[in-house]
Amino acid sequence: MHATTLFTHRTALSWLLSGALLLSLALSIQAAPRPVPAPPAVAASGYILQDFHTGKIIASSNADERLEPASLTKLMSAYIVFAELEKNNIALADEVLISETAWRTGGSRMFVEADSRVSVENLLKGMIIQSGNDATVALAEYVAGTEGAFAELMNHEAKILGMTGSNFQNSSGLPGKEHYTTATDLAILTRALISNFPGYYPLYSQKEFTYNDITQPNRNKLLWRDDTIDGVKTGHTNSAGYCLVTSALRDDMRLISVVLGTKSPNARSKESQKLLNYGYRFYETRRLYAAGESISTSKLWKGERDQIDMGVNQDIYVTIPRGQEDALSTTITIQEQIIAPIEKDSSLGIATVTFGDEVLVEQDILALDDYAEGGLIQRLKDSALLFFE
């Protein structure tokens, strides 16, 4: 026999299927999604626009094509150094002896001097803000002994992050036959860098840095043009063209754009801004549920408490076309009979968020606390009730 109950949460309908041992709560009734204007034309060899929280790809072209990263390589170099700092293997105050190899490295420079000692903190600023190849090689040698060994660390970390289209031969981004990445991989790396190292990420918004009485500006001109942009990194070689990874934060929505192989410094800024403006104009990212927040309750059998609170252990975000929240639907499917004892974070069901026919999120519904067994009388009473259920 089926029992049906009508709830009044945005015309929500729930139904109990007694033979299926599952309780499904449909938290909204969907409207059909409406079309979104096509992304703008972008004059680049490859690009991607992605939401930081959800990983939603809003626009892309040739995103998986292997291309030269130039100094965007330094994003991975920084990721390795940040990880070493977090592990306390090195410290910001450490003084690094500058080798002749680092001093002689060509391309953009911090202007460190051979046989001098420079702090890890200043070398990081020289690498990130000034894009100094000399600073980058010095850090690589300090972390791994040689730049070649450091490149092995870079490739190992790339595999861990799922950067399947990348291979690094050096730390700075100077051209190499087998030195390449993709727009997709750089977006993966940038998301991980911002997420895993929030204490160091503000370095990417610093507009200039002075070392050895030489002040150099950050080459990311968008830092001056748009105050919602707080990073990330430029790159250029003759063969790679002008490249830019950008991130912006507007109204709690963070977007990441990767533009590779444009024709000029102005073009990489213009095309990146174009992508970001498109993403913010036509899309929005919403947090539907917060980690630790009770999003469903159910009867608890044989427990000290009558009810059990359930939720998720990480925030649930969705990225959808702007103004189309009426096409969202959340279904929570949980066990029909939940019997104590229940440990915190035990999986009790699934939350599924859809947009039209597209599944956006599937996430476990968990117990938000430990729930102990009740006393003997409570357990006997509930056993009898369960028998008749």
- Among the options 28, 77, 131, 171, which is catalytic? 131
**pLDDT above 60 (res 22):** no
- How far apart CA 190 and CA 159 sit, in angstroms, is 15
Parse the chain into domains and list their residue ranges. Answer: 3-30+290-388, 46-285
Of the chain, the percentage scoring pLDDT greater than 90 comes to 86
Average pLDDT over the chain reads 91
Q: How many CB atoms lie within 10 A of CB 64?
A: 14
The residue-averaged pLDDT of 323-332 equals 94
DSSP 327: G
The residue-averaged pLDDT of 198-213 equals 97
**pLDDT above 80 (res 2):** no
The reply to whether 221 belongs to the active site is no
The residue among 386 and 325 whose pLDDT is bigger is 325
Sorted by sequence, the CB contacts under 8 Å of residue 311 that are 6+ apart come out as: 289, 291, 292, 293, 294, 295, 296, 365, 366, 368
- How far apart CA 293 and CA 310 sit, in angstroms, is 8
**pLDDT above 50 (res 24):** no
pLDDT tens for 333-381 read 999 899 999 999 999 999 999 999 999 999 999 999 999 988 898 888 8
The residue-averaged pLDDT of 289-305 equals 93
Tokens 């809003």 sit at which residue?
A: 58
pLDDT tens for 241-261 read 999 999 999 999 999 999 999
- Among the options 74, 221, 233, 274, which is catalytic? 74
pLDDT tens for 43-85 read 999 999 999 999 999 999 999 999 999 999 999 999 999 999 9
Q: How far is CA 287 from CA 51, 284, 290, 352, 353, in A?
A: 13, 10, 7, 14, 12
pLDDT tens for 79-115 read 999 999 999 999 999 999 999 999 999 999 999 999 9
**pLDDT above 80 (res 151):** yes
H or E segment at 34?
none
Q: Are 373 and 340 in contact (CB under 8 A)?
A: yes
Q: What is the pLDDT of residue 380?
A: 85
- Span of 66-70, 207-211, 301-305 with lowest mean pLDDT: 301-305
Q: Are 70 and 236 in contact (CB under 8 A)?
A: yes
- How far apart CA 68 and CA 368 sit, in angstroms, is 47
**pLDDT above 70 (res 14):** no
- How far apart CA 318 and CA 355 sit, in angstroms, is 9
- How far apart CA 208 and CA 275 sit, in angstroms, is 25
- Among the options 28, 60, 71, 77, which is catalytic? 71
Q: The CATH number of 46-285 is which of 3.40.710.10, 3.90.1150.10, 3.90.1300.10, 3.40.50.2300?
A: 3.40.710.10
Q: What is the pLDDT of residue 171?
A: 98
pLDDT band at 389 (very low <50, low <70, confident <90, very high): confident
DSSP 37: P
Q: What is the pLDDT of residue 3?
A: 29
- Span of 20-24, 35-39, 41-45, 140-144 with lowest mean pLDDT: 20-24
The reply to whether 131 belongs to the active site is yes
pTM check: above 0.85: yes
Q: How far apart are the first and last CA of the chain?
A: 12
Q: What is the pLDDT of residue 29?
A: 53
pLDDT band at 20 (very low <50, low <70, confident <90, very high): very low
**pLDDT above 60 (res 198):** yes
Class of domain 3-30+290-388: mainly beta
Question: In the 3-class helix/strand/coil scheme, how is 178-239 assigned residue by residue?
Answer: CCEECHHHHHHHHHHHHHHCCCCHHHHHCCEEEECCEEEECCCCHHHHCCCEEEEEEEEECC
Of the chain, the percentage scoring pLDDT greater than 70 comes to 92
